[in-house]
Amino acid sequence: MPRHIITGLVLSSMLAGTAIAQHQAKPRIAVQSISATPAVMSRAASDGSGVKNVLEQIMQGADSSLIDSLHKTGRFEVVAASDVEHVLTAQDVQASGFYDTSDPQTARAFQLAGFNFIASVTVTNFQLIDRVAVIPDAFGDSTYTIETIQLSAMLKIYDVTRGTVLGTAPINSEFQEETRLIEGAAQEGSYSNRLIALASQDFAAESATTILDSLAPPKVIGFEGNTIFFNRGASTGLKTGDLYELRDPGTAMIDPETGERLGMTSVPIGWAIVTNVGRRHAEAAPIELQRTPGISHTFLRAAPALPPHLSPSDRATGPYPAAAEHARPAVPAAITSLAGQPATPASQPTGAVVAVFVSNASGDIPDDRVNVFTSQLSSGLASRGVRVVSRQDVLNAASSLAPEGPNQGTGTPADTMAQRLLSDRASAVAIAQRLGASAVLSATIDSLAVDVTSTPSLNRTVADYSLATSWTLLESSTGASVGGGQAKSSERFKTSPDHDRIELNMVDRLLRADADQITAAVSERMATYQAQAGPASHPVRIEAILQNMMVPEIEQSSEGWTISGRTYPLTASDATISVDGVLVGSTPGPVSIREGTRRVQIEHPLCGPVDRYVQVDEFTGLLRIPITLSPEGQSQWEARTAFFESLKDNEVLREVAIEEAEALAEFMRKSRINIDTSNVQNLGIGQPSIWVQGTD
CATH 3.40.50 in the chain: give the residue spans: 1-217
Q: What is the largest CA-CA distance in the chain?
A: 168
Beta strand 117-137 with 35-36 is parallel
79-83, 162-166, 324-328, 686-690, range with greatest mean pLDDT: 162-166
Residue range 92-109, pLDDT digits in tens: 888 777 788 778 888 877
- Overall CATH class of domain 218-321: mainly beta
The domain at 353-404+418-526 falls in which architecture? 2-Layer Sandwich (3.30)
Report, as an integer, the average pLDDT of 539-548.
Answer: 90
Residue 188: the pLDDT is: 55
Closest CA to 531 of 588, 462, 582, 480: 480
Residue range 278-305, pLDDT digits in tens: 988 999 999 999 999 999 889 998 888 9
CATH 3.30.160.150 in the chain: give the residue spans: 353-404+418-526
Q: Is the CB of residue 78 less than 8 Å from the CB of residue 31? A: yes
Q: In what order do the strands lie in the sheet with 610-616?
A: 582-586, 576-579, 596-603, 610-616
Q: Who wins on pLDDT, 1 or 634?
A: 634
| DSSP-assigned letter for residue 305 | S
Residue 165 burial (CB count, 10 A): 11
Length of the chain: 696
CA distances to 9, 396, 618 from 390, rounded to whole Å, are 68, 9, 32
Residue range 466-504, pLDDT digits in tens: 999 999 998 877 778 888 999 999 988 888 888 777 888
Residue 396: the pLDDT is: 43
Q: Is the model's pLDDT at 11 over the cut of 70? A: no
Closest CA to 524 of 385, 338, 358: 385
CA distances to 76, 229, 328, 541 from 220, rounded to whole Å, are 18, 6, 12, 84
Amino acid at 623: L
1-217 classified as CATH 3.40.50: yes
- Confidence band for 360, pLDDT divided at 50, 70 and 90: very high
Residue range 651-688, pLDDT digits in tens: 788 888 888 888 888 888 888 888 877 665 555 444 56
End-to-end CA distance of the chain: 127
Residue range 374-398, pLDDT digits in tens: 989 988 888 888 888 765 554 444 3
How far is residue 280's CA from residue 130's CA, in Å, rounded to a whole number?
37
As a CATH number, domain 540-695 is: 2.60.40.1120
Residue 687 burial (CB count, 10 A): 13
Burial of 608 (0-12, 13-18, 19+ CB in 10 A): middle
Residue 416: the pLDDT is: 43
- Confidence band for 429, pLDDT divided at 50, 70 and 90: low
Within its chain, how far is the Cα of 97 from the centroid? 30
Burial call 182-221: b when 16+ CB within 10 Å, e when fewer: eeeeeeeeeebeebbebbbbbbbbbbbbbbbbbbbbbbbb
Residue 596: the pLDDT is: 83
Residue range 140-153, pLDDT digits in tens: 777 777 788 888 88
- Confidence band for 344, pLDDT divided at 50, 70 and 90: very low
Q: Considering the entire predicted model, what is its pTM?
A: 0.46
How far is residue 454's CA from residue 466's CA, in Å, rounded to a whole number?
17
Q: Is the model's pLDDT at 57 over the cut of 80? A: yes
Q: Is the model's pLDDT at 331 over the cut of 50? A: no
Beta strand 460-475 with 261-277 is unpaired
Phi and psi angles of residue 465, each rounded to the nearest 5 degrees, phi first: -105, 130
Across the chain, what does the average pLDDT equal? 78
Torsion 430-431-432-433 (CA) sign: positive
CATH 2.60.40.1120 in the chain: give the residue spans: 540-695
Query: Looking at the DSSP assignment, which residues form a beta bridge with residue 544?
Result: 572, 625
